[in-house]
Amino acid sequence: MSILVVGTVAFDHIKTPFGERENILAGAATYFSISASYFTDVSIVGVVGEDFTAEHEEVFNKHGVDITNLERKAGGRTFRWAGEYGYDFNTRTTLDTQLNVFADFKPVVPESKKNTPYLFLGNAHPSLQRDVQAQSNAKLVAMDTMDFWIHGTPSELRETLKNIDLLIINDEEARQLAEDSNVIRSAKKIMAMGPKRLIVKRGEYGATLFGEDSFFAMPGYPQENVVDPTGAGDTFAGGVMGYLSATGGGFDEDSLRKAMIYGSVMASFNIESFGSDRLSQLTKEEINDRYRQFKKITYFDATEHEF
């Protein structure tokens, strides 16, 4: 099967305690599509400026990502973001945001992509996300959002959430959206808004899956070599959706749990370098080997030594 992702292709300027890089090819659609491409076919609907060159195209071509519907705006500049991290990689400071060509972006899902079975709505204005969903016949729709939309467009966001299958956000965003300090209570409130499943990302501490009558928590992969966590959440989402697409999985508990492990595997590689450098160089064996390590880390025999 295949995935359609609608979101940003961007250029980032990142500062961390371990270095600084400018003009990194980034954005939600970039990280998501490269991650998912290791599992399935991926197509992007997005927009870039004339600063997006053949060299940047090659990054997507290398992974077989279809960028036919990546709109090029003559005379425009691609979305740009600058941020800085301290030693606590769970928090960051935004230094600059330039929407550029993305400010007036009105995505169109081409006829050939309307029946793509899996759709991921990258972080964007909720009305834009809702408009894309209305153009799609996807069997499974997942989305991301952020505090800017939670606080700035709450009614629009709630309207969009009514028809979402899977929402993937971090723990702080979950609390903000539900207006509750407890993540478990927040999850129940969020699913009452519409999403059938909720994945709450917890950075280096892992992620949690919430269903109507189910709960699954997993740790983060123990990673010593953290260079740049930018894009880890989108990489995680790409791994989740990529696995589901590759296996034809949906909302059964077993598929979602395995998908989350693969999502964390992909994110654990992404943070080892600036941008998508490490993510772009992976092999299937590296991915599966780290998946097996995850199994060892989390396994225990619950039938032994019960008291």
d(CA 137, CA 213): 27
Nearest in space to 215 (alpha carbons), one of 260, 250, 178: 260
Q: At what angle are helices 253-270 and 284-298 packed, to 10 degrees? A: 120
Per-residue pLDDT of the chain (307 residues; tens, 9 = 90+): 899 999 999 999 999 998 999 999 999 999 999 999 999 999 999 999 999 999 999 999 999 999 999 999 999 999 999 999 988 887 788 899 999 999 999 999 999 999 999 999 999 999 999 999 999 999 999 999 988 899 999 999 999 999 999 999 999 999 999 999 999 999 999 999 999 999 999 988 999 999 988 899 999 999 888 899 999 999 999 999 999 999 987 778 889 999 999 999 999 999 999 999 999 999 999 999 999 999 898 887 767 666 6
For residues 228 and 149, what is the distance between their CA atoms, to the nearest angstrom? 25
Domains along the chain with CATH numbers: 2-298 (3.40.1190.20)
**Helix ranges restricted to H, 216-252:** 232-247
The single-letter DSSP state of residue 117 is S
pLDDT value for 306: 61
Question: What pLDDT is stored for residue 136 in this prediction?
Answer: 96
Q: Residue 302 has what pLDDT? A: 67
Tell me the residue type at 137. N
Q: Which residues contact 133 (CB under 8 A, 6 or more apart)?
A: 119, 121, 141, 160, 163, 164
Give the 3-state secondary structure of residue 275: coil
Phi-psi region of 252 (alpha: psi -120 to 50; beta: other; left: phi over 0): beta
Residue 9 Rama label (left phi>0; alpha psi -120 to 50; beta): beta
Residue whose tokens read 């749990």: 257
Alpha-carbon gap, residue 100 to 96, rounded angstroms: 12
SS3 at position 195: coil
Whole-angstrom Cα distance, residue 34 to residue 280? Answer: 7
Q: What pLDDT, on the 0 to 100 scale, is given for residue 25?
A: 96
Q: Where does the chain have alpha helices with state H? A: 28-37, 54-62, 126-135, 147-152, 154-161, 171-178, 183-192, 232-247, 253-270, 284-298
3-state secondary structure of 271: coil
Dist CA 216 CA 99 (whole Å): 36
Q: How far apart are CA 45 and CA 60, in angstroms?
A: 13
Residue 123 contacts residue 168 (beta carbons within 8 Å): no
pLDDT of 140 reads 96
